[in-house]
């Protein structure tokens, strides 16, 4: 499981299909280990319940007591989720999401990463505000 999978596990409930199926558009990875729940059919995404990402993250921020700007900052989003927000971790996430830009231009990469993570959350059953995705 990659960093995007870690993000999904922090935001989506464990029973959510996004946590039981491999993510799309990622670099090749080893097959998932033992299934976490009863196998689901491929038709599951059509019937998947949406998770209000803004509400989940807002609740996490309220509980954390920190002032993190998760709505625009990939670093703050990763910190809020309790994940590694280092440049190396962000470069790994960029590779996982097939970033084709210069990873040494961290500002551009960070903006792209945040947008792509929000798009992936939306594509996998997350209700994401329109201004946070393409």
**Which residues does 47 contact at the CB level (< 8 Å), separation at least 6?**
none
In the predicted model, what is the mean pLDDT of residues 27-41?
A: 41
CA distances from 125 to 16, 18, 53, 67, 75 (A): 8, 7, 9, 26, 23
pLDDT at 127 over 60: yes
In the predicted model, is pLDDT for residue 45 greater than 80?
Answer: no
Residue 28 pLDDT = 41
Predicted model pTM? 0.77
Sorted by where each begins, the domain ranges of the chain are 1-8+52-134
Average pLDDT (36-40) is 42
Task: Please state the separation of Cα 75 from the chain's center in Å.
Answer: 12
pLDDT tens-digit profile of 53-62? 999 999 999 9
CA dist., res. 121 & res. 116, Å (int): 9
């Amino acid at each position: 499981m990659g960093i995007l999978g870690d993000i999904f596990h922090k935001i989506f409930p464990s029973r959510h299909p996004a946590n039981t199926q491999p993510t799309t558009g990622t670099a090749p990875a080893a097959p998932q280990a033992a299934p976490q729940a009863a196998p689901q059919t491929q038709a599951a995404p059509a019937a998947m319940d949406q998770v209000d990402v803004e509400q989940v993250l807002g609740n996490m921020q309220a509980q954390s007591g920190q002032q993190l700007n998760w709505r625009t900052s990939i670093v703050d989003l990763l910190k809020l989720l309790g994940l590694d927000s280092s440049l190396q971790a962000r470069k790994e996430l960029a590779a996982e999401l097939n970033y084709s830009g210069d990873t040494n231009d961290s500002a551009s990469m960070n903006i792209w990463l945040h947008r792509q993570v929000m798009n992936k959350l939306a594509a996998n059953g997350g209700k994401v505000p329109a201004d946070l995705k393409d």
